[in-house]
Amino acid sequence: MRVKKDIEKFCITQNATIIDAMKVINDADERACFMVDEDLKLLRVFTDGDIRRALLNGAHLDDPIRDIHDRKPFIIKEGQSIDEARQYLSKRITVVPIVNASNQVTGIVRVHEVEPFLNIKSRDVLILGMGYVGLTLAIILADEGFMVYGYDTNSQLIDDLKNKKMPFYERGMDKYLKKLVANNLKLVDSLEKRTAEIYIITVGTPIDKVTMKPKDFYIKEAAKSIGQVLKKNDLVILRSTVPVGLTRNTVLPILEETSGMRAGEDFYLAYCPERTAEGKALEELRKNPQIIGGFDARSTELASRMFNENTHTVIDVGSLEAAELCKLIDNTYRDTIFAYSNLMATLCEKLGLNLTELIDKVNMQYHRNLVPKPSPGVGGACLSKDPYILIKNFEEYGINANFIKEARGINEAAPKNIYARSQQHLAQVGKSLTEAKVFIVGFAFKGEPETSDLRESTTLWFLDELKWNGVKNIYGYDPRIPAETLKTLEITPVGIEEGFRDADAVFFMNNHKSYVNLEIFDLIEMMNKPALFFDGWQNFPPMDVRCIQNIIYSGVGVG
């Protein structure tokens, strides 16, 4: 519970008269006052109703207030929940004192402050940023019964959403858009005259490609926009991935300065990170635990009540900074363990071993091990930038972060290594990638769960490497990315068969589930042999492909 610094204005002494109590009730603008001793220990609570009844029964204004009743007061102990506070509050009892272990009055709970916690769905939600994080959350909250306003500065995106057009692939999204848009989900491209009671910031925090530092411009602009419309008792939630300390040191001052209000007194603030996997975010928003870090206890409880509507498990980690670090721990941990496997892959390639097969064996029924499979690099919007965000915090405290830097470097180097190895393989049969027909399968940054997200895809890094080395005859296919989008990459979009026909090199760069249904051996026979077949995720059995005459098989971690 919040402790009020000016609690004394609600208090009267043991010798106070009825008129003294009436003045305190009037000046404090509440319907009750508290009788305390010299140590602020609570003795009784008197309401304006108590005083009216006493006067009607013949009491005089100069009579001692202590004589009008001797009821035991309702109290809330420090640390009790909002639900426990609610049982005492009603239209008649609108204020209840908070007391500590010594029975000293340390704060108050008002009925109008508690009601929003209990009727959380009565609060409108405005989400700033309709990208992967913002749109999926907007859909789930709207489906749970909240009135949600989705805001983005991209007018074309807002128009597409209004027309129920999916901006990216996410399993199940199409049916939700048809159901919710123009009902519980309203799309807007302006905040003018648009207010809510809960504001959620989900805008991006890109990395400056020169300094490799996170850019917080979009978050600052979002905070300024919210500050201009923020009202008393509103809640602001930051959900974007940020360096530890940004919520308190950047967002909080902007909100306070722009709104003229104080966090913890006038409005509430929490950091609640997104922790879903693209492709199954709508499912995971309903089952994954939600981490909560509040500015104060009331901020934490209000944010928890909102997220409890879509997931049964919320975890209070104690502070804004703790929640910020939890998000960075998640993604940087994953990046480093993927780097371990990708480093081992380079060794296995030299030793003539198959790392994927070895990992299956060392993990088998040995529960200490959860060694991940190697990959053609590690990209995506999160893992490609979050380590750099965490590195910034390490550098601020003078801590060596080379371990994290090296891991990120290993994962970023994989596409270059694929190019170099492929060029060597083709050279052995008198071919070169620069003169070859190259067919790339899988452009989304991952294949499973399936997505259409191209952001920081390692396939695009590999494509850049090909182009930089003069490779021009490049064809492409992806099960979830439209041909029109592939054209913007300056390649030729084709179907699977056309891509394989007369290809000198084929690269499978992600692990989409549809590949297992391909007649891969018939397709390989269509290639311009001798030819290179690169399978970055071992979608197909290496030994079987190697049996095909004049086909060079290559893969990550396969010697």
Q: Do the domains spanning 7-115 and 120-318 agree at the CATH topology level?
A: no
Give the whole-angstrom CA distance, residue 113 versus residue 298.
Answer: 10
For 238, the token pair is 């930051």
The pLDDT of residue 3 is: 38
Domain ranges of the chain: 7-115, 120-318, 412-554
The pLDDT of residue 366 is: 94
Q: Which residues pair with 125 in a beta bridge?
A: 148, 198
Query: φ, ψ for residue 531 (rounded to 5)?
Result: -145, 165
Q: What is the pLDDT of residues 40-72, one digit of tens each?
A: 899 999 999 899 999 999 999 999 999 999 998
The pLDDT of residue 77 is: 85
Residue 118 has pLDDT above 80, yes or no: no
Q: Are 362 and 215 in contact (CB under 8 A)?
A: no
Q: What is the DSSP string of 289-335?
A: -EEEEESSHHHHHHHHHHHTTT-S-EEE-SSHHHHHHHHHHHHHHHH
Element (H, E) at 395: helix 386-396
The rounded Cα 279 to chain-centroid distance in angstroms is 14
Predicted confidence band of residue 109 (pLDDT cuts 50, 70, 90): confident
Q: Which residues pair with 531 in a beta bridge?
A: 551
Mean pLDDT of the chain: 93
Q: Are 97 and 73 in contact (CB under 8 A)?
A: yes
The rounded percent of the chain whose pLDDT value lies above 70 is 95
What value does the mean pLDDT take over residues 85-92? Answer: 59
Element (H, E) at 76: strand 76-77
Q: Are 116 and 302 in contact (CB under 8 A)?
A: yes
Stronger pLDDT, 224 or 9, i.e. the higher one? 224
Q: What is the pLDDT of residues 446-470, one digit of tens each?
A: 999 999 999 999 999 999 999 999 9
Q: What is the pLDDT of residues 163-187, one digit of tens each?
A: 999 999 999 999 999 999 999 999 9
Predicted confidence band of residue 86 (pLDDT cuts 50, 70, 90): low
Residue 329 has pLDDT above 90, yes or no: yes
Element (H, E) at 126: strand 125-128
The rounded percent of the chain whose pLDDT value lies above 90 is 84
Most trustworthy range by pLDDT among 6-20, 77-91, 117-131, 380-394: 380-394
Residues 6+ apart with CB under 8 A from 357: none
Comparing CA positions, the residue from 342, 412, 416 lying closest to residue 380 is: 412
Q: Residue 150, SS3? A: strand
**Range from 39-48, 266-275, 500-509, 530-539 carrying the lowest mean pLDDT:** 39-48
Predicted confidence band of residue 516 (pLDDT cuts 50, 70, 90): very high
- Taking only Cα atoms into account, the Rg of the chain, rounded to an integer number of angstroms, comes to 31
What value does the mean pLDDT take over residues 470-477? Answer: 97
What value does the mean pLDDT take over residues 433-444? Answer: 97
- Residue that the structure tokens 């549809």 belong to: 514
What value does the mean pLDDT take over residues 254-265? Answer: 96
What value does the mean pLDDT take over residues 406-426? Answer: 97
Q: What is the pLDDT of residues 301-313, one digit of tens each?
A: 999 999 999 998 9
CATH number of 120-318: 3.40.50.720
Predicted confidence band of residue 337 (pLDDT cuts 50, 70, 90): very high
∠ CA 234-236-237, nearest 5°, is: 145
The rounded Cα 400 to chain-centroid distance in angstroms is 27
What value does the mean pLDDT take over residues 468-491? Answer: 97
Give the whole-angstrom CA distance, residue 266 versus residue 234.
Answer: 8
Domain 7-115 bears CATH identifier 2.60.40.10: no
Predicted confidence band of residue 116 (pLDDT cuts 50, 70, 90): low
Element (H, E) at 11: strand 11-12
The pLDDT of residue 536 is: 96
Q: What is the pLDDT of residues 9-43, one digit of tens each?
A: 889 999 999 999 999 999 877 788 999 998 889 99
Give the whole-angstrom CA distance, residue 300 versus residue 297.
Answer: 5
- Residue that the structure tokens 């596409």 belong to: 415
Task: Tell me how crowded residue 56 is: count the other CB atoms within 10 A of its CB.
Answer: 8
**How are strands ordered across the β-sheet holding 95-99?**
76-77, 95-99, 105-110
Angle of helix 111-118 versus helix 297-307 axis, rounded to 10: 30
Give the whole-angstrom CA distance, residue 550 versus residue 532.
Answer: 9
Residue 551 has pLDDT above 80, yes or no: yes
Give Dmax (Cα) for the chain: 112
The pLDDT of residue 194 is: 80
CATH of region 412-554, choose from 3.40.50.12780, 3.40.309.10, 3.40.190.10, 3.40.50.720:
3.40.50.720
Comparing CA positions, the residue from 471, 472, 478 lying closest to residue 441 is: 478
Q: What is the DSSP string of 160-222?
A: HHHTT--SS--TTHHHHHHHHBTTTEEEES--TT---SEEEE----PBPTTT--B--HHHHHH
For 439, the token pair is 């067919």
Residue 344 has pLDDT above 90, yes or no: yes
